[in-house]
Chain A
Amino acid sequence: MIDPAQILIDAVSVGGLYALTALGIGLIFSVMRLANFAHAELVTVAAYMLFAFSGSPVAVAILVAIAAAVLLALATERIAFRPLRGADSATLLISSFAVSMFLQKLLVFLVGSRPKALDPLPALSRTVSIGSLQVSALKLVTIVVCLTLLAALTAFLKWTRFGLQMRASAENFTMSRLLGVRANAVIAIAFGLSGLLAAVVAVLFAAQSGFVQPRFGVQIVIIAFVATVIGGLGNLFGAAVGGFFVGVVTILLQAFLPAELRPFREAFLFVIVIAILLFRPQGLFPARNLKERV
């Protein structure tokens, strides 16, 4: 018994989370050429904040989670990545691994590695009926929030001064700075936005999974990395599309794989990814300029 409408809702709600995560990663990559694995810990720390503030009103817990992820994102930029600005991307990649591992181990040290149960959005743990369809309220809200954030981010990039500066920097940072774009401001805004996106993903994903542990963010960030690569590294539109694509494939595999193969869903996903990259090594939407010039 597989209802196509149900599958669509599942796919979009899962894909939306991957898309927001892929965008958070893509924003940093496009301005700094940094593939930031520590994005995972932004998600994880935000989720722990939700756990820590589970006694407070939902809005307070969410605001604290957002503030924590944004501050952590800015701190990693200032302390770990700014000194490496202009280093080659292998160096940046390795340092982001180091930051990620450091934060993960720090969390294990501080809160232990046992999963903690949490329910950040209790009001949404019910179903809504749309016609004959019974839909989880959480999934509907996830879809609405993801689409709203995508639209807001698009508007920011398209219509604001900083959005224009960010797109210009993504193409040619040196030329943009010669025109007066402040590198520190643009990079800080990109990190701040990625923290915001990570926190929103943490809220929605924690509400779905119901627990948090030190590798909470890693599971979703690994898949989101796959999404950015499929979409075309450095292309934000591609990252969002890649996120939805991965969500849809995951849900389809879940729905149509024989039951005994379902635990290996991710393996099938990666096979599909490899197949795509064989035909389009730059991803579905290659970025225009990945090199610094001038």
Chain B
Amino acid sequence: MTAIAGQGGGRQGSAETLAPLLSIRGLTVRYGPITALDGLSLDVGAGQVISIVGPNGAGKSSLLAAIAGTVKPAGGQVTFKGQPTIGQPLEQTVRRGIALVPEGRHVLASLTVLENLRLGATIRRDTAEAAREIEGFFKTFPILGERRNKSAGRLSGGEQQMLVIARALLSKPTLLMLDEPSLGLAPKITDQIYAMLASIREAGVSILVVEQNAARALRVADRTYVLNGGIIRMSGTEAELSGNPDFEAAYFGLAPRGGAQ
């Protein structure tokens, strides 16, 4: 898995000519009568950062859930490293190299900070190396180091977010997916988290991030997709989208194809 991750990073330069790391075609997710995603297609190339923006109820979390396997799509294909992922057991997701940091963080509150991180490395057999990485993380974030044996549920929201991102990274993912990592956090903490994402990217990990804060989403990503009413309304780079009136229209569902509101 590590070797594949390394290759992914190395091929970054010629990503155009290769099959994308993650490829989604015609993905549809329904909850009873509600259609959350309606035939969505997008690609994430190796080493790329892709962001998804959209209002509440746009289908952003449903997209990540369908990729991760916590929701069974009603139709469409998800291909990761050339392999179809839909219908595989949930515990395979992280073994393939996909790590999800879900909406609402989900630290395991009954475990300590250290145990949360150990659990992040639970699929690995190089326990000693994982332990070194955990120590390294504690050096970078001394507040968490001091609380390593305290319940993770007692941490502040920002600390919990740092912890779940670190926990996800300990599985050595090829693709890191984050669902609104800055939700409910102070701007300073959000800056820290986005600085962390920048260094994760440096390490060659591809990132798919869902964000309601459009300015952030544009700045961090190689390409941003606007999702509304379960449909991609628009996509482009920061240069193409920021300040573009169509972008705002798409975001608020005023695009020609009609939106949620």
Contacts and interface: CB of A to CB of B under 8 A. Distances in A.
A267 to B, nearest CB: 36
Contact of B106 (A161, A167, A177, A293): A293
A178 B122 contact: no
Interface centre among A161, A174, A180, A293, by most chain B C-beta atoms within 10 angstroms, is A180
Contacts of B68: 178
Contact of B115 (A164, A183, A288): A164
Given A179-B167, A288-B110, A164 B118 contact: yes
A37 B102 CA distance: 35
A168 interface: yes
B110 A170 contact: yes
A175 B102 contact: yes
A288 B93 CA distance: 27
A168 B90 contact: no
B108 interface: yes
B131 interface: no
B192 interface: no
A27 to B, nearest CB: 15
Interface string A162-178: 00110110111011111
Contact of B90 (A161, A177, A288): A177
Interface centre among B68, B93, B99, B122, by most chain A C-beta atoms within 10 angstroms, is B122
A180 B170 CA distance: 11
Given A174-B70, A294-B70, A179 B110 contact: no
A178 B122 CA distance: 11
Contacts of B109: 171, 288-289
A171 B110 contact: yes
Contacts of A294: 70, 102, 106
B123 interface: yes
Nearest to B101: A178
B90 A167 contact: no
Chain A, interface SS category: helix
B111 A167 contact: yes
B119 A164 contact: yes
B171 interface: yes
Interface in A132-169: 161, 164-165, 167-168
B20 interface: no
Indicate the size class of the contact surface on chain B.
20 to 34
A176 B93 contact: no
A171 B108 contact: yes
Given A178-B68, A180-B171, A164 B111 contact: yes
Given A178-B100, A179-B167, A289 B94 contact: no
A224 interface: no
B93 A178 contact: yes
B108 A172 contact: yes
Given A161-B122, A165-B122, A175-B102, A180 B108 contact: no
B91 interface: yes
Nearest to A182: B91
A86 B99 CA distance: 23
Contact of B171 (A161, A179, A289): A179
A154 to B, nearest CB: 15
A172 B104 CA distance: 13
B110 to A, nearest CB: 5
B120 interface: yes
A223 B50 CA distance: 57
B122 A179 contact: yes
B95 interface: yes
Contacts of A171: 108-111
Closest 10 CB pairs of A and B: A180-B123, A177-B90, A180-B94, A175-B106, A171-B110, A177-B91, A182-B91, A288-B110, A171-B108, A168-B108
Interface of A: 161, 164-165, 167-168, 170-172, 174-183, 288-289, 293-294
22 contacts: A161-B122, A164-B111, A164-B118, A164-B119, A164-B122, A165-B122, A168-B108, A171-B110, A172-B106, A172-B108, A174-B70, A178-B70, A178-B93, A178-B94, A178-B99, A179-B122, A179-B123, A179-B167, A180-B122, A180-B123, A181-B91, A183-B90
Given A167-B110, A181-B91, A288-B109, 20 more contacts: A164-B111, A164-B118, A164-B119, A167-B108, A167-B111, A167-B115, A170-B110, A177-B90, A178-B90, A178-B93, A179-B122, A179-B123, A179-B167, A179-B171, A180-B95, A181-B119, A183-B89, A293-B106, A294-B70, A294-B106
